[in-house]
Amino acid sequence: MIKPAGEAITDEEIASARDAIARAKEADADYYDPETYAAANRALDDALMVRMSDPDKAREYLAESRDKAEQAFRNSIERAAADLGKRMASLKEKLLAQEADKFLPDDYARAVAGMDDAAALYEKGELSSARASAYAALKAMADLSALLEDKVAWVKVLKRDAEQFLKEAEEADAGRWAPQEKNTANDLYLQGLAAYQGYRLDEAERSYGAAREAAKDAVRLARENRARTLAGDKEKTQALKLQAMKALQDASELTVVGEDGTVVKPRKWTGADFLKEIEKLQQEREKQRQENQGDQSLLLPAAGRTAVLADESTEDLLTQAQELWKLGLKEEADENYAKAQEYYQEALRYVEVYKSYAVKGVYTVRLIPEKRDCLWRISGYDFIYGDPRLWPKLWRRNRKLIQNPDLIYPGWLLVIPPQ
């Protein structure tokens, strides 16, 4: 209704313009169409300035303010629709890149359904409802994207942890020391992998998590079982080491005569000094381990060549036994207990062979006309065996010299083997 010229501007006319501006503001006109929105506000301000002095001019400004506000509202709704459409399309692309339609198909379908709802409302001209529907769809898609991102990230963390513990289990030789736990961890990991590749996130999470715990158990049990076994092997190896060392020390005090008649006198030997050297080197290696410089082998003195037993002279047998014992020390220091035991056993075998050449002494056959020396009488002497029936021991030990046990001659040196 057109007011008569000069009639005063009513509060209702002012409120009408302000309501139009508020409606544009609600449509985010200050963001989507700031120029038109600002023009509506300027026109309202101009109207208020001349309201009393020029009511007619004020009505022109009010009409302009309402028109500009309506234009800003319409523009904003259209631009918002286009902007929201782009944002929804972008979020949908992101969800597809995350494979949300495969990982969480039901949630994905519900989230993107809002896009069609908003488009339908825009087509009907229900702009406010369409805008509200678009914002709801945007929130649903953004929430789903964040949820999926978190779930996938967590599953990947579990997968990485499981792989790390499986690697540690391999390094701990769990296949030997905890085979059941390692196999369980491997199976669970493969189940997790299959579930993830099949887009079953919850199942993948459970399997990877279980694989991680099983692999941790495999590492722990492998280390415990290995330590327990090694402790027993270590104790057995140490006992064998001391047994071999004592045998070597005892053998070094013997007099032996080789097959060729070579006499080897006692050569006092002790392994105590070498054990001290090994202990010092072990302490140095432990220090290196603590400083994370790696597990280095002990640098032991060269053991020399190890020859076939039959190729060695009687004198070399004891030397070889000593060198074998030293090699055993090296392997023991490196915690290769099985190999160390082999060396100690071999050293003992050499010692036994060496001891088989041990003699009580050497007897010179005498010329006694009334009671000629013979193997029977010699073995019967108190300072030999005190038993003439043991004469075969003398013959066997001196068989290269004595062709006929009934014929021995004065001046012959007979080796007297231990009784």
Q: What is the CATH number of the domain that holds 382?
A: 3.10.350.10
The residue from 65, 97, 129 where one domain ends is 97
Helix ranges (DSSP H) in 291-387 = 314-333, 337-355, 375-380
d(CA 64, CA 42): 10
Q: Which domain holds residue 188?
A: 110-235
198 and 273 together in one domain: no
The token pair at 361 is: 């002494």
Q: Is 256 helix (H, G, I), strand (E, B) or coil?
A: strand
122 and 183 together in one domain: yes
The token pair at 274 is: 């070498």
83 and 136 together in one domain: no
d(CA 305, CA 328): 14
55 and 79 together in one domain: yes
Provide the number of structural domains found in the chain.
4
Closest CA to 258 of 364, 400, 393: 400
Q: Put residue 350 in one of left, alpha, beta given phi > 0 → left and psi -120 to 50 → alpha.
A: alpha
Look at residue 276 and tell me if it is in a domain: yes
pLDDT recorded at residue 345? 93
29 and 12 together in one domain: yes
The residue from 204, 235, 266 where one domain ends is 235
343 and 365 together in one domain: no
215 and 296 together in one domain: no
**Tokens 């231990």, residue located:** 418
Look at residue 245 and tell me if it is in a domain: no
340 and 401 together in one domain: no
365 and 281 together in one domain: no
**Crossing angle of helices 34-50 and 11-26, rounded to 10°:** 170
Residue 366, CA distances (Å) to 10, 44, 304, 380, 406 in order:
161, 151, 44, 15, 15
Q: Contact, 362 vs 415, CB < 8 A?
A: yes
197 and 174 together in one domain: yes
Ranges of the chain with pLDDT below 50: 1, 293-311
Look at residue 56 and tell me if it is in a domain: yes
Q: How many residues does the chain have?
A: 419
Q: Contact, 77 vs 25, CB < 8 A?
A: no
Please tell me the pTM assigned to this model.
Answer: 0.58
**pLDDT tens-digit readout, 269-325:** 888 777 777 777 667 766 776 665 444 333 333 333 333 333 456 668 888 999 999
Up-side HSE of residue 211: CA atoms within 13 Å toward CB? Answer: 29
Look at residue 41 and tell me if it is in a domain: yes
pLDDT recorded at residue 361? 78
Look at residue 242 and tell me if it is in a domain: no
Look at residue 244 and tell me if it is in a domain: no
231 and 306 together in one domain: no
Q: Identify the burial level of 334 via C-beta atoms within 10 angstroms of its C-beta, where 0-12 means exposed, 13-18 middle and 19 or more buried.
A: middle
Q: Are β-strands 361-364 and 256-257 bridged in parallel, bridged antiparallel, or unpaired? A: unpaired
Q: Identify the burial level of 211 via C-beta atoms within 10 angstroms of its C-beta, where 0-12 means exposed, 13-18 middle and 19 or more buried.
A: buried
Look at residue 240 and tell me if it is in a domain: no
d(CA 240, CA 260): 32
pLDDT recorded at residue 4? 55
Residue 157, CA distances (Å) to 105, 153, 160, 191, 293 in order:
23, 6, 5, 16, 30
216 and 290 together in one domain: no
d(CA 216, CA 66): 72
d(CA 11, CA 361): 142
The residue from 97, 121, 146 where one domain ends is 97
Look at residue 166 and tell me if it is in a domain: yes
